[in-house]
Amino acid sequence: MSSCCPFAGATTGGGVCPVKATDQSSAGLCPAAKSDKSITGVCPVTGKGHGSEHKESIDGGEEKGTDDPRMVPAKCPFGYDSNTFKLGPLSCIVCQALLHESSKCKPCAHKFCKACISRFKDCPLCGADIEGIEPDAELQALVDRFIDGHARIKRLHATGDVEAADFKDKVIYEDVSMERGAFLVQQAMRAFRAKNIESAKSRLTMCADDIREELKSSEDNLDLCSQLGAVLGMLGDCCRTLGDSPSAITHYEESAEILSKLPTKDLELVHTLSVSLNKIGDLRYYDGDLQSARNYYARSLDVRRNAVKEHSAVASQVIDLATSLAKVADVDRNLGNESTAVQGFEEAIQCLEKLKLDSEQASLEQRRLSVLDFLHNQLADK
């Protein structure tokens, strides 16, 4: 699963990416989130503060305090703290994400995600023997309300000057699903890393549904389209991990279809698109459909060739290109096209041998050498 938050560019309240704000490991960092202005007590989903001094920009940038009669601040009802990730009884100590299919151990009554606690014979919290597991519907309903609480900002909407003057504004809930989406992706990434795949899949499905709903009223919103493409790719990863190849291919194909229609100047978008195409190719390859696999690998190769033309100085793009060349060449060899395969392997080697990396790019250098070693072995086996 991609570790980049697809919502990094869409956060509000100071530009804090919730993934970066709470995940300090390198796998969870969102490179697109530049702001480090996290504020204690700020809800990472709504981006709104909990304090009475909080101000929010509305109506074309005018700042309104919390005493503005038109605004009800979007305070997290459970006191979510983005800096310390305090979810208390709403989180599972095993996967560190919001509870999914909350379950209670018997007899100790400690609560975990169903998938997490099913791996244990003894309670991970107290060590007691687990004699049975039963669902906790009441706690799960509370978790679900917690998620819903981050989906809306309550805002008064003026229907006309006369009504506004008479304070007869109607209360509506403005959708801020991009903020909730960032929160759901954060939880999905935590769950996925802890191998609670069903939880990750559930959160990503909710996120995708939110984006689809919002796209109904803003079909041309490029940010929403790119976010949906990224989330669908993550859903494909979940299905693939669960062994559901048909569903994984469906998600990857939809992701690729959406992303291929967007401008290709964004390197992260290009990377997500090419990876989705390669993953479809991998699944086709494992199923023995070599010609279909080659078609998808070739599409990914074309995407990466175009990216290198525009960003030839970006080392990661060159390594991606060599990887795609190797994939296509490997299929060509299996299809009996040995001379074409050799040409592909040799072109990939040339790309990598020309690439010069400095000492600050140690991880890329390790990847370059690994791919280069694979390519030389392929030529040695011809």
Tens digits of per-residue pLDDT, 357-375? 888 888 899 999 999 999 9
Q: Residue 139 pLDDT more than 70?
A: yes
* Of 217 and 239, the one with more pLDDT: 239
Q: Is residue 364 assigned to a domain?
A: no
- 313: tokens are 């100085």
- Contact between 55 and 116 under an 8 Å Cβ cutoff? The reply is no
- Given this model, what pLDDT does residue 269 score? 85
DSSP 262: S
Alpha-carbon torsion, ordered 328, 334, 338, 342, to 10 deg = 40
Q: Is residue 207 assigned to a domain?
A: no
User: For residue 95, what are the domain limits?
Assistant: 86-152
- Given this model, what pLDDT does residue 88 score? 65
Reported confidence tier of residue 8, pLDDT bands at 50, 70, 90:
low
DSSP secondary structure letters along 88-155: GGGB-TTT-SB-SSEEEEETT--EEEHHHHTT-SB-TTT--B--EEEE-HHHHHHHHHHHHTTSEEEE
Q: Is residue 94 assigned to a domain?
A: yes
- Given this model, what pLDDT does residue 7 score? 61
* Of 262 and 63, the one with more pLDDT: 262
Reported confidence tier of residue 116, pLDDT bands at 50, 70, 90:
very high
* Of 83 and 137, the one with more pLDDT: 137
- Given this model, what pLDDT does residue 359 score? 82
Q: 3-state DSSP call for residue 8?
A: helix
Q: What is the domain count for the chain? A: 1
DSSP β-ladder status, 170-175 and 111-113 = unpaired
Reported confidence tier of residue 74, pLDDT bands at 50, 70, 90:
very low
Q: Is residue 23 assigned to a domain?
A: no
Mean pLDDT value across the chain: 75
The model's pTM: 0.70
Q: Is residue 142 assigned to a domain?
A: yes
- Given this model, what pLDDT does residue 382 score? 63
Q: Residue 270 pLDDT more than 60?
A: yes
Average pLDDT over residues 133-155: 76
Query: What residues form DSSP beta bridges with 290?
Result: none
- Given this model, what pLDDT does residue 217 score? 83
* CATH for 104: 3.30.40.10
Reported confidence tier of residue 160, pLDDT bands at 50, 70, 90:
very low
Q: Is residue 256 assigned to a domain?
A: no
Q: How many CB atoms lie within 10 A of CB 326?
A: 24
Q: Is residue 231 assigned to a domain?
A: no
- How far, CA to CA in Å, does 298 sit from each of 132, 186, 253, 304, 346? 51, 32, 15, 10, 16
User: What are the E-state strand segments in the chain?
Assistant: 55-58, 62-65, 102-106, 111-113, 132-135, 152-157, 170-175
- Contact between 186 and 18 under an 8 Å Cβ cutoff? The reply is yes
Distance of CA 287 to the CA centre of its chain: 27
Q: Residue 289 pLDDT more than 50?
A: yes
Q: Residue 90 pLDDT more than 90?
A: no
Q: By percentage, how much of the chain surpasses pLDDT 70?
A: 68
* Of 189 and 221, the one with more pLDDT: 189
Average pLDDT over residues 62-86: 43
If we measure between CA atoms, which residue out of 191, 218, 194 comes closest to residue 206? 191
